[in-house]
């Protein structure tokens, strides 16, 4: 569902009457007729308790799962019904994933881990390194580029993961409980980084159960029992 006064060309993500039923037994209705849209440049926090449907919603937005009903548009392209190969292309080109676990390759430096985000993009190794270095600079870690993951703090590892998510210039960043493995100091630092990236133009969508983390967003969507209970632009 589009916000009033929103042009379709401004839309990074749109869900129309999306439902998800896990067949079981017993059958479980994880999402029921969810409609929402996210404009380019928004900073959206999706909040919900366990069982609210937020993980299912993340999987659908990230094209990691298909809805039982409804349509999902990314860059005005309906991804429902696409082949696995097509969906893989959408994920690699349009979505920058950030997870609770950092998923950095242990034998590769921070710079190499970020450059690996461009492995299947068709760009040269030199350009991969240049873009990775620029992205590490953007997240404040250019001085740590030659360090291995085990030589970095948890907060630094998550920043490397964010740089990797951004290096292919996705339509939006999709973050799943990005502060889940961080202490309070690193959590605050990370959310400030997301705020800065958003102010620079990056579209950010993150999922959390933490209301303090959600307070960083400029728009908050609350899920309850598989439905959108509250959607507010602050």
20 CB-near residues (< 8 Å, 6+ apart): 29, 30, 31, 53, 56, 60, 65, 67, 68, 226
**Is residue 226 left, alpha or beta, with left meaning phi > 0 and alpha meaning psi from -120 to 50?**
left
How confident is the model over 87-103, as pLDDT tens digits?
Answer: 999 998 899 999 888 99
- pLDDT above 80 (res 183): yes
Residues 18-26, mean pLDDT to the nearest whole number: 91
How confident is the model over 93-138, as pLDDT tens digits?
Answer: 899 999 888 999 999 999 999 999 888 778 898 999 999 999 999 9
pLDDT at 227: 96
Sign of CA dihedral 88, 92, 95, 100: positive
- The two tokens of residue 174 are 């999709």
- The two tokens of residue 31 are 């999402």
pLDDT at 2: 44
Full set of structural domains in the chain with CATH: 42-63+82-233 (3.40.50.300)
Place 70 in a pLDDT band, splitting at 50, 70 and 90. Answer: very high
C-alpha to C-alpha distances, 155 to 25, 111, 136, 209, 227, nearest whole angstrom: 41, 16, 13, 19, 33
pLDDT at 8: 57
SS3 80: coil
* pTM for this model (two decimals): 0.89
Tally the C-alpha atoms within 13 A of residue 50's C-alpha that lie toward its C-beta: 0
- pLDDT above 70 (res 1): no
């Amino acid at each position: 569902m589009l916000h009033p006064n929103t042009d379709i060309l401004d839309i990074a993500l749109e869900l129309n009457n999306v439902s998800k039923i896990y067949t079981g037994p017993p059958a479980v209705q994880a999402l029921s007729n969810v409609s929402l849209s996210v404009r380019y440049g928004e900073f959206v926090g999706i909040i919900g308790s366990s069982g609210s449907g937020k993980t299912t919603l993340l999987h659908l937005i990230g094209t990691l799962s298909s809805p039982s009903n409804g349509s999902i548009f990314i860059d005005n392209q309906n991804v429902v019904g696409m082949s696995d190969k097509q969906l893989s292309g959408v994920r690699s080109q349009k979505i920058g994933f950030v997870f609770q676990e950092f998923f950095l390759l242990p034998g590769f430096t921070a710079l190499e881990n970020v450059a690996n985000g461009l492995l299947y993009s068709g760009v040269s190794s030199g350009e991969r390194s240049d873009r990775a270095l620029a992205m590490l600079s953007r997240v404040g870690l250019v001085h740590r580029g030659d360090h291995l993951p085990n030589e970095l703090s948890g907060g630094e590892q998550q920043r490397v993961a964010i740089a990797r998510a951004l290096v292919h210039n996705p339509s939006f960043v999709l973050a799943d409980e990005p502060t889940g493995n961080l202490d309070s100091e690193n959590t605050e630092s990370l959310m400030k980084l997301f705020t800065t990236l958003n102010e620079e133009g990056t579209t950010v969508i993150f999922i959390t159960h933490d209301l303090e983390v959600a307070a960083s967003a400029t728009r908050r969507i609350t899920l309850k029992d598989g439905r959108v209970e509250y959607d507010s632009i602050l």
